[in-house]
Structure 1
């Protein structure tokens, strides 16, 4: 399967079509024409990390269950490495998510959403402690009181 991103052409492992509805729909065994991916949704740097995710997981990514805020418990070592690569790339997680949605890659979307979920995880058995930990993690975000939430809700009712 030949693919083009930006002006670069490369051969893609055919197992990708089993993970991406878009690639599966566009793949034509008879055609020699490359599948052109839209650069407004994906660039080479993002693609390389997405490709690495599937390759290091041997095209069988593990299902992720977010049950705490400890990434070392939630993610496999391979997934942690991919998340480090994403962070190191200085490209927003939002752009990775847009690329994953464009390619329709549910497993990669799950990885990204799970990363966000661990970041803001609140343990319902210890909500106060969880919220205190969030406040320590993000000191730049002011704490919102219940009265402020009520005020916001009143204002939103008038705007909608």
Structure 2
């Protein structure tokens, strides 16, 4: 095989392999560039009353009023990692920690995972006391990394201020 034939074979191979991947990533059915632009302009979502009610129903608890109000009216800060912004994420993460994910002891029923700092050290909201603790790698029985008296104190510590 000549070097020209080898080059053509490699080029065709890249088109055959990379082409579909690039198409899927950028031009697949349903791709909406305007929707992508909107996501970058408004990176956090606000929940409806029904979504907050669903979180409470599926987790079988009552969220503290300050946290529930924040989910419905949130501002741009803290981001959607520090405070999760969809019912599915809150329910899913909490359920995982209640089952002892990543080798951590299972969380009691009254703790809700509200987010983290992308460091696998989630914030646990105690729905009985209103206190928030940052757990070490999800271990709610270990000494917390940080402790906040309530959700308002948590927001103030994160620089969001009251009513953000």
Per the normalisation by structure 2, the TM-score is 0.28
Of structures 1 and 2, the one with the larger relative CO (CA 8 A, separation 6+) is 1
TM-score scaled by length of structure 1:
0.29
Identify the structure with the greater helix proportion.
1
